[in-house]
Amino acid sequence: AVVPDGWTLSVWARTSRPRLAAWTPDGALLVSVPSSGRVLQFRPGGDGPPEESVLLDGLDEPHGLAFDGSTLYVAQSDQVDAYD
């Protein structure tokens, strides 16, 4: 990867085939994984790696993630779901 002047690059978390990410209002990072039908949640783990958990499973190729207030919108291959 090409890193712009004044920036640094480090790997914060690893997962297989991530696509899009969105920060939650409470500071977790959500990552869509279309190939597994999941949305993963990463919570900062202090000085160590973030804690990973499955937030949503059984989705149809989830891609886009967005928040409006506390409502999470997840774009799948044929619909957009809203989670409150």
* Domain spans in the chain, listed from the N-terminal domain onward: 21-83
Q: Point out which residues pair with 20 in neighbouring strands.
A: none
* Residue 1 reports pLDDT greater than 90: no
What are 2-24's pLDDT values in tens digits? 999 999 998 889 999 999 999 99
- pLDDT tens for 23-80 read 999 999 999 999 999 999 999 988 888 999 999 999 999 999 999 999 999 999 999 9
- Ramachandran sector of residue 27 (left: φ over 0; alpha: ψ -120 to 50; beta: rest): left
More confident residue, 1 or 76: 76
Distance of CA 74 to the CA centre of its chain: 11
Q: What is the pLDDT of residue 40?
A: 98
pLDDT value at residue 46 = 82
